[in-house]
Structure 1
Amino acid sequence: MKLLARTSIAAAALLISGVAAAGTIAGLVNTGAGLAAGSTDTHYTYSVSGGDYTGLSGSGVVSNSNVDPFPSWLANTASSSWLIPTADQSINYSSSESSTFTWSLNFDLTGYDLSSASITGRWASDNSGVLLLNGTVISTILGNGYNTWTNFSGINSALTTGKNTLSFVVTDDASATYNYTGLRVEFASATANLGTPLVTPAVPEPESYAMMLAGLAALGFLARRRRD
């Protein structure tokens, strides 16, 4: 192989060395995705403080869209469904005192370039809610958040290498009569480059190109003299 060809290949490899492959972040899944009503979604866990069921904990259960509180809640779709605390959809968890449900979703960013991560989506809650990433507030829902979506994005600054936790803190307002609580989450993007990014060399100035070409010419001349 000629010297010029070898040099060209090496330069091309250097120029593309900064490109990193993008991958989907595992663990960031929509609530109830692919699950039938009454199924347990083990991705989302919860714990309760206050209200009638303080201390209760477990994994979310996919709601039944054929009974109350539907159609007041956003309709379940093939993309996501509402999660409720237990299979009994009629339980009033806050008959005389408001309760707080902290829903958690864990995901791992080991091996990802955090600066390239893109995590966006939308969520809904009954009643109000606060979304936190590793303790940092990302989004809030004021009042009744069960009949419209609230978008979230721009959470890169709170990410950390290794385990990360999204916490959906939902307040179930006290009511002695008609009362339900639940969570709905859909992700629009959840990607990041795999591995630590390599530094892409800066584009050389024109003077640098001239020096490079002069150097290649000199090397070619020496190579020809050796052959002669």
Structure 2
Amino acid sequence: MRTLSLSSALFFIFLASPAKSETVTFDFTAKIESLREQTNWGPEVEVDSSDLAGITISQGLISGRFSYDRKSIRTNEPPLTPESYDYATYSADNPKNKLEMSFGNQKIFSQAVYYSVTDQRTAGWDIFSFTGKFSNSFRIYFTLIDGTGTAFNSAGLPGTLDWERFQYFRYIGMDYLDDSTGDYRHLGGRGSIISLTQVTPAVPEPSTYLMLLAGLGGMVLAAGRRQVRR
């Protein structure tokens, strides 16, 4: 059987090459340093642990993983003075924008994640932050601030986060509020993010496998046609 021409082989190899994923994923750990609980409209009380949010949340170490698609749709207009700064918020409708949290052996998954990026063009702070919505009552807040204003050169969702640059402020907070039954219940927590690791390599997107199958199928068809012509 005759082999494929060089140009045909190169074409199919290119077609089957993996597509670059635009989804970025990070693992992080944090330390909850304060939990304050309020029930029945009484005073706030510092607690070591609470079940108000439907899961057990305690002071101490927690962990999580967040992902975002760099192609997420921007939801706000650029500022009137873009030469000095840019601040962008991104749609939570993208299914690739995710947050999962682990509290001990309990794991919860977000309903929506709202990302934002601030790029100070002249001086000031560069900020990466998100809010993870787990229910209408429970949210988690994540903020990294670079005090030098050099972490970003645009307000686009970044391809990486340089942990060492964000030494100025590394904050995690949480808020649970439910007064739907008339019995006011509130839990507030705050702490520090203590580590951040980008998850690599990126998992190929489904389109990658479709392209691979298409390329292999094309090679088989071309080889078959050449065999018939002999």
Q: Do both proteins adopt the same fold according to a TM-score greater than 0.5, normalized to the shorter chain?
A: no
Question: Which structure has the greater CA radius of gyration?
Answer: 1
Which structure has greater strand proportion?
2
Q: TM-score, normalised by structure 1?
A: 0.30
Q: TM-score, normalised by structure 2?
A: 0.29
